[in-house]
Amino acid sequence: MILNRLTEICGYADDILVIATSLPGLEAMCAEISREAGRMGLVINRNKTKYTRFSASPSRRSVKGITLKCVTYEGEVEFK
């Protein structure tokens, strides 16, 4: 697990969970993960990558997709 004040990364076998407190933090972390994966010959499967927004306020929870670096990721109701 890698943790700082703005982002957190948890790895599970061949899956990664990224938690960020801001959209710029999320974009930066996803770019870094993609860059480092590429150095090892790996690619992020965009079809399996999902986005969920967590909030204590129901009105701030969003399940619509998100676009990062011209790639849109599908929204999910809950993290599985």
pLDDT tens for residues 38-66?
Answer: 999 988 888 888 887 777 777 777 667 78
Q: What mean pLDDT, rounded, does the chain reach?
A: 77
Q: What pLDDT score was predicted for residue 39?
A: 94
Q: 59 by DSSP, 3-state: which? A: helix
Q: What pLDDT score was predicted for residue 23?
A: 83
Q: What pLDDT score was predicted for residue 41?
A: 94
Which positions ≥6 away from 63 have C-beta within 8 Å? 52, 53, 75, 76, 77
Q: What pLDDT score was predicted for residue 78?
A: 66
